[in-house]
Amino acid sequence: MKVAIFGGTGRTGRHLIEGALRDGHEVTALVRDPGKLATGHERLRVVEGDVLIPSRVEETVAGADAVLSALGHTKTSRRTCRSGAPSTS
């Protein structure tokens, strides 16, 4: 199964990625900072970007059988990342 994951560098998202890979799935993760993702794996594809940029979201979910969201809020994230309208860039 091909799985797309948003929020993969957070506490919950890391577990989702590790579990999906352990179970044999192909994973595409959209992350703002790939340096925060310590997991390197042949079935892991990392898309760098912001969830509010539609083209990055589309790239992440293309061909996915399932989409998982572990988006959360940190002190440096925009408060509207889970509810705001996407950017046009």
CB atoms near residue 14 (< 10 Å): 19
89 pLDDT exceeds 80?
Answer: no
Write the pLDDT tens digit of every residue in 49-86: 988 899 999 999 999 999 999 988 767 666 655 555 55
Beta bridge partners of 5: 29, 68
What is the rounded CA–CA span in Å between residue 22 and residue 35? 21
- pTM score above 0.75: yes
Q: Would you state the structure tokens that stand for residue 4, as one six-digit string?
A: 């797309």
Beta bridge partners of residue 46, listed in sequence order: 29
All domains in the chain, ordered by first residue: 2-69 (3.40.50.720)
Tell me, what's the pLDDT at 64? 98
Can you read off the two tokens belonging to residue 59?
């790239």
With beta carbons less than 8 A apart as the criterion, state whether 70 and 5 touch. yes
